[in-house]
Each structure stands twice: as C-alpha cells, then as structure tokens.
Amino acid sequence: MSNIKRTALVTGGNRGLGAAIARALYDAGHTVIITHTPGNSKAVAWLAAQADQGYGLTGYGVDVSDFRSTQNLAQQIHLDDRQIDILVNNAGITRDASLRKLDKADWDVVLRTNLDSMFNVTKLFIEPMMERRWGRIVNISSINGSKGQFGQTNYSAAKAGVHGFTKALAQEVARAGVTVNTVSPGYLATEMLTTMREDVLARIVETIPVGRLGQPDEIAALVAFIASEEAAFMTGSNIAMNGGQHMC
C-alpha cells in the first residue's frame, strides 16, 4: 500500500478491536488519534504503554454519544492544528437482555453509543474531507447486525443501522472523493469473549466454520486497506469477516 501520511481518528480506540485498528493505521504511516471515555485512567495508562512500544498515539476523552462533547473534540483537534482524513467509527457497547427484560435505559444507551455516535462524529468531519476531496470513513458494525442475536435487539438494531448510514452517506459524498464503508466482524478474541466460561466459548467456536475466533489484528488489517489510496473504488460496501459463520 502507498505510504501517503494522513491523520486518522479511531473512536473507542484504546481497547480490543479499536486498539488493534489504531496500531494498524499507525503502522501504515498515519498520525493516529483515539477517543476514550472521559476520565478513563486505564486509557491514559494504555496510551503511555503504547508510547513505550513505539506507538505515538494521541488520546482525547469524549462522550461520542453526546453531540456537544463531540463538538468540543472537533474544536480541540482544530486548535491542535490537525485535520481528520480517516475516520473509524468503532465505539460501541453492549447491554444484553431479551426484549421482555430489556430496560428502556439499556435500549437508549446502546442506540446512543453505537448509532447516534455515527452522526455526532461524522457530521463534524465530513465537510472538510469533501472540501479537500479526499477522505475515508470506516464504520464498524457486527455480524449480529446482519443475522441478529438472542438478547441483543438493541445491539443488533444499532449495528444494522450502521450499514444503512454507510450506504446513504456513501452516495452523498462519492463525487467529492470520500469513501464510506462498513466492516462487520464476527466473534473476535477480545477480552469480552476470552474471559467467558470455557464451555460457553467452546459453543461459540463450534458455530464458526474455520474453527476459531477471529483476531483483532485481522480486522485491523482490513480497515487499514480500506483507508488506503488503493481502496478508492470501494464505497458503500459491507465487508463481512466472520470465519464463514454468516455468509451474506
């Protein structure tokens, strides 16, 4: 891939898949900014540890579910004399329960964090990308946005909405040199899964044709390609990477 240096913003970039994406974009030669929840001391410590490993990442505390908080983020990035060329909308949470038991608060917080954040963050950086006639937006959805999952009406609805957002925005900005794509990972070897009971984890792996969990670095490599110069003809796509668990 070409090594033109850009500036990338990865929301929720301090753990799991987001952290792998941040490192992959840095390895591709880009300046990388991540967001984390405000006042998150673990994120600050993680950034310091990354610096010790040679990853000079910059972090901002922001509530991506709140438009005013994201406005403050955009203002600070501007004051720091940076412009965002690559945006990875990765931030997301789960609050699982069957619909009969799901609290309205848990519906709302998942939709705000996983879907409203797409509007909040993208809205603030799309216009400058169009003016510069270059931009890459990668929206992280999920296998469960396509196939659904018991106990995840809130999460599945939000993640399905991610690709609807992608397809509409891709049409709006294509002629301005900005691409918008979705990546839908399957089950990955992140802390959320690897700390499950062994029998539960084994049942999940049994449903994956390749016989294993995905690695965050595998998804991150895909994201880095989509953010590259060579991926300019790809837009409005949903790239599923799930070990054959759900073929669409």
Would you name the residues annotated as active-site residues?
155
Residue 189: what residue type?
A
Which residues, in sequence order, are CB contacts of 10 under 8 Å at separation 6+? Answer: 18, 21, 22, 25, 32, 33, 34, 35, 88, 90
Nearest residue to 51 via CA among 38, 34, 64: 34
Exposure of 44 in the CB half-sphere (CA atoms within 13 A): 6
Nearest residue to 87 via CA among 38, 53, 146, 127: 127
**CA dist list (Å): 10 to 97, 201, 223:** 28, 28, 11
Structure tokens at 34: 């991540």
85-124 burial, b at 16+ Cβ within 10 Å, e below that, comes to bbbbbbbbbbbeeeeeebeeebbeebbbbbbbbbebbbeb
Question: 90 and 10 in contact (C-beta within 8 Å)?
Answer: yes
